[in-house]
Chain A
Amino acid sequence: MPIRILSPEIASQIAAGEVVERPASVVKELLENSLDAEATFVSIKIEGAGQRLIEVTDNGSGISETELPIAVERHATSKLSTSQDLFHITTLGFRGEALASIGSVARLTITSRPLDADVGTRLKVDAGHSSPIEPVGAPVGTQVRVEDLFYNVPARLKFLKHETTERRLIDNLVTRYALAYPQVRFHLFQENKPALQTSGNGDRREILAALFGVEQARQMLDVLAQDDWMHVTGFISPTSLTRSHRRDITFFVNGRPVQDAALAAALLKGYHTLLMVGRYPIAVLFLQMPPELVDVNVHPAKAEVRFREPERIFTGLQGAIRRALLAYTPVPGLQAQLRWAPENPPAPTSRQIDPAWNLDQVSARKGWQVEMQPELDRQPTDELPGGAAHALAGQPSFPDTRVPILRLVGQVANAYLVAEGPDGLYLIDQHAAHERVLFERFMSQLPEVLPSQSLLQPATVDLPPANARLLTDQLPFLARLGFQVETFGPHTFLVRAVPNLLAGSDPAAALRVLVEDFEEDETPLQAEREARLVARVCKRAAVKAGHALSPDEQRALLSDLEACQSPRTCPHGRPTMIHLSVDLLERQFGRRGAR
C-alpha cells in the first residue's frame, strides 16, 4: 500500500481510541469534567450498557455559549494555559481531548447553561461533524449525552465485552468516584434502574457498602496517616477479608484513580506475613500530595502517574497500612451461633469481632472517627494542611496492637495452649504461635549473620533444576541465615551447616522445603523473598502440634508471643489464637440473654 497521510477523520478516531476505549472510559471523562466544574450533584444514565446512551448531567459551572463550540475541538481546554501549568495540575482534566474524542466516535449532544446565563445552549456533534449551536431552555449546569457509541467504528464495537461486564465496569467506576468525592451527590441509573445513589453527606462508609456490601464494608478498617507532604485516607480490609485477585485494590492520587503496581506492592508489603499466600486485600485508598510531586501527564487516559519521590511515598504508604492493620487486627473470636457439638467444630477462620474483646478498640475507634471528621469535609483536591496532626510515623491514637497479658491455664491435645486474659479465654495454636515468635526473633537478628551449627557429615541434596537455580541465587542470603551450602554439581548441593534453630531436624529436608514450590515471579522483591525464606525456616523449626510442652515451655511461649509485634497471626497469615470473650461464654452458657 502506498504511504498516505491519514484523513482527519481516521486520525481523530485513532486518537480517540487512546482516550475512549469503552463506555466506562466515556463515563470517566464526563464525570471528571463535571467534578472539575465543581458540581455538587452528578446524575448518570446508562442504557444499552453505555453503547446506546451515556448521559451525564451536573449542576456545575456550565459552558458559555461562546465556549461551547471550542470545547469539542481537539486540545481545547479551560484548565491549562501555559506549559508551566502542566506541573501543577489540580484538575482531573487538562488534555482537552475528551469531548473531541467522544464526538468523533458517537453522537454527542451537549446542553449547558452557566449560572450567569439566562438560557442554555445546545451543540450536537455526529461522528466528528458539529452542527451549529442552538439556544434551549436548561437548568444551570451541563448535560452531556453520548448516543450510539462507536457506531462509526465497528472494529471497536467488536472489542466490547458482554453487556454485564461493561455495566459492571461502569458501576465500579462511578462508585469509586463517589467514594473519592463523598460530598458530591451521585446518582447512577443503569437501564432506568437506580444502581447507585449517594447522599453527598461526606460519609464514605455508606458508599463503601455500595461497593462491597454492608457486611464487608462494616469490616473495612480506616486508614488515616499524614505528614508534611502526604496524606493517606481510605479503607483497607482486615486480614480476615481477602480476595484471590488484586482487582479490588484501588488508589486515588489527588482525586484521580490510578493504576500503579508500585503502590499496590507497597500496600501488600504493609500486609506482609499477615495474609496467606495468594490472597489479596481489598483497599480503597486516597493519597493527597502537592501536585508538583505527581506527574499525571503520562497516559492518555490519565490512568497512570509518575511520582517525584516514589520511595518516600511507598514507605509512607506501607507504614500507614501496617499500623492500621496492627491496630485493628482482632484476635478472631468465635461466632456466638457456633455450637459446641463435635460435628460443628469452631472454625478458626470465623472472625467475628467479638464485642467484649473489642470494647477497647471500639472506643478507640470512636475517638478516631471524631478525629477524622474534619478530614472528611476537605475536598480531595485540597492542599495539604501544614503542621499535620499526625505524622506518618508514630500514631499515638492507634490502640494497642499487642495481646493482653495472659495467664496460662494449660495445654490441650498437645497442640493448643489455653490462657486467660482480662477479657476471657484464649486458645493458642502452639505451632503457629511459635512460628510467629521465631519469625520476629529471626527478622530482628537478620541484619547480622546468624549463628550456624556444623554437621558431622555434610548432607547431599539433589534438587529439580528450577529449585536449584533459585537456591543458587539465594545462597548468599542463606549463608546469612546460617546455612552453609556449597554447590556440588549442577543441581546438587552440600549442606555443611544449618541455622542453629534447625539443629535437630533433617538438614537435607530443611533445605529442600526452603525452595520447594517457591515461585520466583510471585515475589519479585528480594526483601520479600528473604522474608519468605525466613518464614519457611521458622515453620520448620517451630514446635509441632502433638508435642507435649512442659509448663515452663508453655509459659515461655506465651510471654514470647505477648512480646511480638504481630502476635495474632503466624508469618503465613493464619491466626495464632482464638478468643472466647467472657461475654460469649456467658451467652453460650445461657447466663445472659442473647442480644
Chain B
Amino acid sequence: MKVTVLQENLAHGLSIVSRAVSPRSTLPVLANVLMATDEGRLRLSATNLELGITCWIGAKIEEDGSTTVPARTFTDLVSTLSDREVGMSLNVRTQTLNVRCGASNTDLKCIDAQEFPPMPAVDTSDGLQIKVSELKEMIQQVVFAASTDDARPILTGVLMTVKGGKVTLAAADGFRLSVRKADLASTSGHSISAVIPARALSELARIASDGEQLVTMVMPRGRGQVVFRTKDVELVSQLIDGTFPDYEQIIPTKFKTRAVLSTSAFLKACRQAEIFAREGSHIARINILATGELQPGSVEISGQSEETGSNQNIVEATIEGPNILIAFNVRFLREVLDVIRTPNVALETSTDTAPGMLRPVGAQVADGEFLHVIMPMHLGS
C-alpha cells in the first residue's frame, strides 16, 4: 500500500472512527484502525464488535493495500504533523507503515489487516432515506430517555419503527418515555421494527455532521444489524434482541390541567431547582396555578434539600383546568426541556399520581411529532 492524503482529512477521519475503537479489548487488533484503499479513496474502520464505524477520505493512491494501525499512537502522531501532505507506504512483510510528512519520518508497527474482523459491504440501494439534520434531532430527542442499566438490555435501546413513509423513534427507561416521529425522505414499502442501542444512535448523531445530506438506513436480512450510511461515513450497529414494551398504551390520552409556558424559562427554573434538589432526591415540585379569568396563570418550580437550601421560580403560563401540585424528578424535566426546540412547551397532567406529558407547542410542529411522558414522584410525608 502506498498512498498520499491530506493531514486534515486523515485527522478528521481518525477522529470519527476512533469512537468505535476498543483499547481494552482482549483482541489487540480492536485497538487498531483498519486502513485500506477503496476505489480511489482511503477507508478507515474501527469496531468494538457491537459498533463499527467507517469513514472514507480522499487519497492519491499509488499502490492498493491494507493494514491496521494502532489507533492511539497513530491519532497522536497525525495530530502533530504540520505539513499538508502525508505519505504512507506499507512494508507488507514486516507490517511496518512508513509515514512521511515534511521533515517527519515515522515507522509504525501495524497488525495485518487479515486479523481485523471482516466488515462486509452492504447494499444500500434499497435503504430508507432521511435528512441527516432531521435524524440527528430525532435521536437527540429520545436517546436520553433510554435506560443505562444493562440489567434490562431492551430498555438501553431505541425502538425504531417505520411504517407508511413515517419513522418513529421511542425510548423509555421505565420512568419516562420519549417518542419522536418524522417523515421519510423516500417512501418505502417496508415496515420495520427494530431496537437499536442508544449508544450507537448517539454516535451516529455525533459523526453525521453535514445536515443537508441524506442518510441511508438498511437492515441487512438475517444479520441482526442496522447500517447507516452517508456519503463518507458508515455506522454499523448490532440490534438488541427482544420485545420493546408496548408504549402506545402508556401515553395518556386525556388530561385535566394543561399549562403552556416558555420553554427556556421553564428550563432555567429546572436548572436552578436541580442545584438544590441534587443533594436530596432530585425532586422538583411543580405547582400549577390558574389565577383568574383574564390573568395569566403561573407555574411555580421549586427544589430543596436539607443541606443546601431551597429555591423557587415562578414562570408565567397559560393554564387550562384546575390547579395541581405535582412532583417530578428534576433531571428528567431538564433533560427533556433541553431538547424541545419550540419557544413554548405544554405540560399536561391529570392528578399528582398520573403521568405528566410534555410536548412542544408552536405552529411549525406537527401534532404528535414529539411527546414525552414522565411519571411523577411521590413526596414522602
State in angstroms the CA–CA spacing of A480 and B177 once bound together.
27
Q: Convert A447-482 into 0s and 1s, putting 1 for each residue whose CB lies closer than 8 angstroms to a CB of B.
A: 011111111110100000000000000000000101
Contacting residues, chain B, for A456 (C-beta < 8 A): 172, 174-177, 245, 247, 250, 355, 373, 375
Nearest-neighbor residue (CB-CB) of B245 within chain A: A457
Binds B, one of A163-171, A206-214, A504-512: A504-512
Q: Is B310 an interface residue (CB 8 A)?
A: no
Q: Convert B144-176 into 0s and 1s, putting 1 for each residue whose CB lies closer than 8 angstroms to a CB of A.
A: 000111011000000000000000000011111
State in angstroms the CA–CA spacing of A353 and B327 once bound together.
49
Task: State how many residues of chain A have any CB contact under 8 Å with chain B.
Answer: 23
Check A506–B151 contact: CB distance below 8 A: yes
Contacting residues, chain A, for B152 (C-beta < 8 A): 506
Residues in A481-516 with C-beta less than 8 Å from chain B: 482, 484, 497, 500-501, 503-507, 509
Given contacts A500-B282, A500-B329, contact A452 B377 (CB under 8 A): yes
Contacting residues, chain A, for B379 (C-beta < 8 A): 451
Contacting residues, chain B, for A457 (C-beta < 8 A): 174, 245, 250
Contacting residues, chain B, for A504 (C-beta < 8 A): 147-149, 173
Check A455–B174 contact: CB distance below 8 A: yes
Contacting residues, chain A, for B173 (C-beta < 8 A): 504
Contacting residues, chain A, for B373 (C-beta < 8 A): 456
Contacting residues, chain B, for A505 (C-beta < 8 A): 149, 151
State in angstroms the CA–CA spacing of A160 and B250 once bound together.
72
Give the shortest distance, in Å, between A439 (CB) and chain B (any CB): 15
Check B151–A450 contact: CB distance below 8 A: no
Q: Is B337 an interface residue (CB 8 A)?
A: no
Contacting residues, chain B, for A507 (C-beta < 8 A): 174
Check B151–A451 contact: CB distance below 8 A: no
Nearest-neighbor residue (CB-CB) of B251 within chain A: A456
Check B380–A449 contact: CB distance below 8 A: yes
Q: Is B364 an interface residue (CB 8 A)?
A: no
Residues in A169-207 with C-beta less than 8 Å from chain B: none
Q: Is B381 an interface residue (CB 8 A)?
A: yes
Residues in B366-381 with C-beta less than 8 Å from chain A: 373, 375-381
Check B378–A454 contact: CB distance below 8 A: yes
Task: State how many residues of chain B have any CB contact under 8 Å with chain A.
Answer: 29
Given contacts A454-B353, A456-B175, contact A448 B377 (CB under 8 A): no
Q: Is B283 an interface residue (CB 8 A)?
A: yes
Give the shortest distance, in Å, between A49 (CB) and chain B (any CB): 59
Given contacts A453-B329, A455-B375, A456-B172, contact A448 B147 (CB under 8 A): no
State in angstroms the CA–CA spacing of A224 and B103 once bound together.
78
Q: Convert A308-337 into 0s and 1s, putting 1 for each residue whose CB lies closer than 8 angstroms to a CB of B.
A: 000000000000000000000000000000
State in angstroms the CA–CA spacing of A504 and B151 once bound together.
10
Most-contacted residue by chain B among A449, A484, A500 (CB, 10 A): A500
Most-contacted residue by chain B among A452, A453, A497 (CB, 10 A): A453
Partner of A454, one of B247, B376, B380, B381: B376
Most-contacted residue by chain A among B175, B176, B245 (CB, 10 A): B175
Contacting residues, chain A, for B151 (C-beta < 8 A): 505-506, 509
Residues in B317-340 with C-beta less than 8 Å from chain A: 327, 329
Q: Is B89 an interface residue (CB 8 A)?
A: no
Give the shortest distance, in Å, between B173 (CB) and chain A (any CB): 7
Check A500–B355 contact: CB distance below 8 A: no
State in angstroms the CA–CA spacing of A497 and B175 once bound together.
9
Contacting residues, chain A, for B245 (C-beta < 8 A): 456-457
Q: Is B238 an interface residue (CB 8 A)?
A: no
Given contacts A500-B282, A506-B149, contact A451 B375 (CB under 8 A): no
Check A454–B377 contact: CB distance below 8 A: yes
State in angstroms the CA–CA spacing of A455 and B378 once bound together.
11
Give the shortest distance, in Å, between B165 (CB) and chain A (any CB): 28
Q: Is B124 an interface residue (CB 8 A)?
A: no
Contacting residues, chain A, for B283 (C-beta < 8 A): 451, 500
Check B327–A451 contact: CB distance below 8 A: yes
State in angstroms the CA–CA spacing of A504 and B177 once bound together.
13
Contacting residues, chain B, for A449 (C-beta < 8 A): 380-381
State in angstroms the CA–CA spacing of A450 and B379 once bound together.
7
State in angstroms the CA–CA spacing of A562 and B376 once bound together.
33
Residues in A418-470 with C-beta less than 8 Å from chain B: 448-457, 459
Check A500–B281 contact: CB distance below 8 A: yes
Partner of A453, one of B177, B247, B375: B375
Nearest-neighbor residue (CB-CB) of A447 within chain B: B381
Check A452–B175 contact: CB distance below 8 A: no
State in angstroms the CA–CA spacing of A501 and B377 once bound together.
12
Nearest-neighbor residue (CB-CB) of A480 within chain B: B380
Check A455–B175 contact: CB distance below 8 A: yes
Q: Convert B194-213 into 0s and 1s, putting 1 for each residue whose CB lies closer than 8 angstroms to a CB of A.
A: 00000000000000000000
Give the shortest distance, in Å, between A429 (CB) and chain B (any CB): 21
State in angstroms the CA–CA spacing of A507 and B377 once bound together.
15
Contacting residues, chain B, for A455 (C-beta < 8 A): 174-175, 375
State in angstroms the CA–CA spacing of A454 and B356 once bound together.
11
Residues in B278-304 with C-beta less than 8 Å from chain A: 281-283
Contacting residues, chain A, for B329 (C-beta < 8 A): 453, 500, 503
Contacting residues, chain B, for A484 (C-beta < 8 A): 378
Check A451–B380 contact: CB distance below 8 A: yes
Give the shortest distance, in Å, between B80 (CB) and chain A (any CB): 26
Q: Convert B224-247 into 0s and 1s, putting 1 for each residue whose CB lies closer than 8 angstroms to a CB of A.
A: 000000000000000000000101
Given contacts A456-B355, A504-B148, contact A451 B377 (CB under 8 A): yes
State in angstroms the CA–CA spacing of A294 and B250 once bound together.
65
State in angstroms the CA–CA spacing of A545 and B327 once bound together.
32
Nearest-neighbor residue (CB-CB) of A547 within chain B: B148
Check A451–B174 contact: CB distance below 8 A: no
Most-contacted residue by chain B among A449, A457, A480, A507 (CB, 10 A): A457
Contacting residues, chain A, for B380 (C-beta < 8 A): 448-451, 480, 482
Give the shortest distance, in Å, between B134 (CB) and chain A (any CB): 27
Contacting residues, chain B, for A454 (C-beta < 8 A): 175, 353, 355, 375-378
Nearest-neighbor residue (CB-CB) of B373 within chain A: A456
Give the shortest distance, in Å, between A38 (CB) and chain B (any CB): 58
Contacting residues, chain B, for A497 (C-beta < 8 A): 378
Give the shortest distance, in Å, between A551 (CB) and chain B (any CB): 16
State in angstroms the CA–CA spacing of A507 and B380 once bound together.
19
Q: Can you list 7 residue pairs at the A/B interface with Cβ under 8 Å?
A: A454-B375, A455-B174, A455-B375, A503-B175, A503-B329, A504-B147, A509-B151
Known: A448-B381, A454-B377. 6 other contacts (CB 8 A): A451-B327, A456-B174, A456-B247, A457-B250, A505-B151, A506-B149
Q: Which 8 pairs from chain A and chain B are nearest by CB?
A: A449-B380, A454-B375, A506-B151, A449-B381, A500-B281, A451-B281, A452-B378, A448-B380
